[in-house]
Structure 1
Amino acid sequence: MTTRSLPSITSLNEAQQRGWACVWCRAPLGIDLGDDLGEQRVRPAAGAAYSWFPRQCSDAAACQAREGA
Structure 2
Amino acid sequence: MVATRQLPAVHTLTEQQQRGWSCVWCRTPLGTGLGADLGEQRVRPPAGAAYSWFPRECLDRPTCAGQYAR
Q: Same fold (TM over 0.5)?
A: yes
1:38 corresponds in structure 2 to: 39
Structure 2, gaps ≥5 residues long = none
Cα contact 1:16–1:54 (8 A) shared by 2: yes
Q: Where do 1:1-69 residues align within 5 Å?
A: 2-63=3-64
Q: After TM superposition, give the deviation of residue 63 of structure 1 in Å.
A: 2.9
Question: What secondary structure is seen at the aligned counterpart in 2 of 1:51?
Answer: strand
Letter aligned with residue 62 of structure 2 = A
* Alignment-mate amino acid for residue 35 of structure 1: A
TM-score, scaled to structure 2: 0.83
Quick one: distance in 1 between partners of 2:36 and 2:27?
Answer: 14
Q: Distance in 2 between matches of 1:3 and 1:52?
A: 16
In the TM superposition, what is the alpha-carbon distance from 1:3 to its structure 2 partner? Answer: 3.1
Identical aligned pairs, as a percentage? 67
Indicate the structure with greater helix content: 1
The answer to whether the 8 A contact 1:22-1:28 is kept is: yes
Change (3 A) 1:64 1:37: closer
Tell whether the 8 Å contact from 1:36 to 1:55 is kept in structure 2 after alignment.
yes
Which amino acid in 2 is paired with 1:16? Q
Moved over 6 A (4+): none
Kept after mapping to 1: 8 A contact 2:58/2:65: no
